Amino acid sequence: MTALASCEAGTVLRISGELDHCTEQLFRTSIGTFLDRGHRHVVLDCATLTFCDSRGLNCLLSLQWLLERRQGRLLLARVRHNVARVLHLTGSGELLRTYPTVSQALATLPGEERPGWPETDSSEGTGTYLTGPSGRAHPAGPTHLPRPGYPSGPGYPPGPGYEYRSGATPA
């Protein structure tokens, strides 16, 4: 976890790697450090979050619950397809707000509670992230670059470059 920007009320953090049973305690300890500083709003840049299982999802939902109790928000930015899929399949996408860019997530916070961030950031491309017109994860169809050989069918997003192979696993 890397801090990218902070102010008294909020912080932008980049989370990298996997968020699962092996990294759950590290995530909770790391995020606790920022919460102890009084941050009520947390924007997680998930561009480099490669995997999230049920334990990782529980971490995010617990953080959301805690921040709401402090009159704050958890906002997820640049969510990759594999993580967006977990949010969609579990129904958590309705609870966790997602945005195509950090800038768009920050724009939803009150100005005085928003960490400084460039208006436009060329590193925030949206081509590889699954988002809808509202900025929320969009389960109906991918706007990310499809992976050849990735199975389709129930539970998988439709789109070009996907094929169904019975019993197949993602390449």
Span 44-72, pLDDT tens digits: 999 999 999 999 999 999 999 999 999 99
**DSSP-assigned letter for residue 113:** G
Q: What span, in angstroms and rounded, lies between the C-alpha atoms of 55 and 53?
A: 5
Span 118-163, pLDDT tens digits: 765 545 543 333 333 333 333 332 323 333 343 434 443 443 333 3
Could you tell me the maximum CA-CA distance found in the chain, to the nearest angstrom?
Answer: 53
Which residue ranges form the domains of the chain, and what is each CATH number?
Answer: 2-113 (3.30.750.24), 141-171 (no CATH)
Model pTM score: 0.70
Residue 57 backbone zone (phi > 0: left; psi -120 to 50: alpha; other: beta): alpha
3-state DSSP call for residue 6?
A: strand
The answer to whether the CB of 41 falls within 8 A of the CB of 76 is no
The CA-to-CA distance between both ends of the chain, in Å, stands at: 27
